[in-house]
Amino acid sequence: MAEVVLQNVMKTYGNLYAVNDVSLTVNDGEFVALVGPSGCGKTTTLNLIAGLLPMSGGDISIGNRVVNDLDPKDRDIAMVFQNYALYPNKTVYRNLAFPLQMRKLPKEEINRKVQDAAKLLDITHLLERKPRELSGGQQQRVALGRALVRDPAVFLMDEPLSNLDAKLRVQMRSEIKRFHHNLNATVVYVTHDQLEAVTMADKMAVMSGGLLQQYDTPANVFANPVNTFVASFVGSPAMSLIPLEAAGNALRSPEGWELPLSQLNARKAANSSTNKIVLGARHSTLKLHKAAVPGAVPGKIYTVEPTGDVTFAQVFINGAVVNISLDPTARIEPDETVWIEFDQERMHLFDAETTMALKAI
């Protein structure tokens, strides 16, 4: 396996920046997820690493070797696509063996590599079947196996689970995570599903508009989003964001109420470029009260969503929809007036002008 390094990587189409000055390092044996909404540049970045697209600027290294001018076949990578890309008329065995035959490896070595990959992925019993005789999950394992037999330095995966149903996606998440654990493989994985990134990756690169917004462990991205985009994208449900104004040691709403701030949060608010502040809070950090309590702010129930073990309520606060998780025994109704209490130690404050997280200096 090998380290992958991107330095100031660019991809332009005329005046459009599909990938804009992206720099990141994927360490040897690391699983990194490129995540973001459609059109954010994550698949383009993966294709630049693979050599499927020419770069407009920057450098890409794989295993301490600059690969800018190398063809895909010379970069020592293997790709797994969302549509599996299996040969329909070949058996599973022949699908796995084909890339090795193209490299003209001896028959005995080909057979050994195919059998080893099939055993690792638990598809030995499928070797004589055709792709049309396999389930979606089995086809995806074959696609992984075809990448595995090549023994590449880096595995590149482009939304490999997006064609599977919800239950199978959960199962295959575990399969790919185990695949990575067993091989200690270097994996760059593209997904629009931030839950996949959070549950599978060692690090996640959150992208938007061709720019790398944040690159860190999933836990740190979740706990310390660098801006409002990351805050609103990562998490299920996402962080709620409420536009307010700083007023001394409090945040003030146009509706007339004030939310007192702790000393630490007041120092953060004081560092905003203007008095416009965006207050962010995760659903699990909020408390709902049916009567006014000190420090709580008023809101109106919009919808109530029971899910079995937890109930989610959406509450209108100052025109923003705020998600709150409740005990399933809670009894609340749409249009009911409630009061929401914020956890001062776990709230987030963002500069409304720059969208960046505010820090106490």
CA angle centred on 121, ends 114 and 189, rounded to 5°: 105
> Is residue 20 located within the same domain as residue 130?
yes
Give domain status of residue 358, yes or no.
no
Q: Concatenated DSSP letters for 255-283?
A: TS-EEE--HHHHHHHHTSSSSEEEEEE-G
- Where does a domain end: 204, 229, 254? 229
DSSP annotation of 246: E
Q: What's residue 178's pLDDT?
A: 83
Give domain status of residue 54, yes or no.
yes
Give domain status of residue 276, yes or no.
yes
Rg (CA), the chain: 24
> Is residue 142 located within the same domain as residue 57?
yes
- Where does a domain end: 172, 207, 229? 229
> Is residue 26 located within the same domain as residue 173?
yes
Where residue 302 sits, what CATH number does that domain have? 2.40.50.140
> Is residue 200 located within the same domain as residue 101?
yes
Give domain status of residue 315, yes or no.
yes
> Is residue 20 located within the same domain as residue 168?
yes
Query: Distance (Å, rounded) from C-alpha 207 to C-alpha 210?
Result: 6
Q: What's residue 260's pLDDT?
A: 95
- Where does a domain end: 229, 260, 290? 229
Axis-axis angle for helices 166-183, 136-148 (nearest 10): 20
Looking at 52-185, list the stretches that DSSP marks H as alpha helix, in order from N- to C-terminal side. Answer: 92-102, 107-120, 136-148, 166-183
> Is residue 84 located within the same domain as residue 50?
yes
Give domain status of residue 360, yes or no.
no
> Is residue 57 located within the same domain as residue 157?
yes
Where residue 26 sits, what CATH number does that domain have? 3.40.50.300
Give domain status of residue 333, yes or no.
yes
Give domain status of residue 32, yes or no.
yes
> Is residue 191 located within the same domain as residue 278?
no
Indicate the number of domains in the chain: 2
> Is residue 83 located within the same domain as residue 208?
yes
Report CA 66 to chain centroid distance, whole Å. Answer: 27
Q: What's residue 1's pLDDT?
A: 67
The number of CA neighbours under 13 Å toward the Cβ of 77 is: 27
Give domain status of residue 359, yes or no.
no
319 to 211, 243, 261: CA distances (angstroms): 29, 9, 21
> Is residue 63 located within the same domain as residue 166?
yes
Give the range of the structural domain holding residue 91, as residue numbers without chain letter. 4-229
Could you list the pLDDT tens digit for every one of the 361 residues in the chain?
689 999 999 999 999 999 999 999 999 999 999 999 989 999 999 999 999 999 999 999 999 899 999 999 899 998 888 777 888 999 999 999 998 888 889 999 999 999 988 888 888 999 999 999 998 888 888 888 888 888 889 999 998 888 777 787 888 888 888 888 888 889 999 998 888 898 899 999 999 999 999 999 999 999 999 999 999 999 888 899 999 999 989 999 988 899 999 999 999 999 999 999 999 999 999 999 999 998 899 999 999 999 888 999 999 998 899 999 999 888 899 999 999 999 999 999 999 999 999 998 7
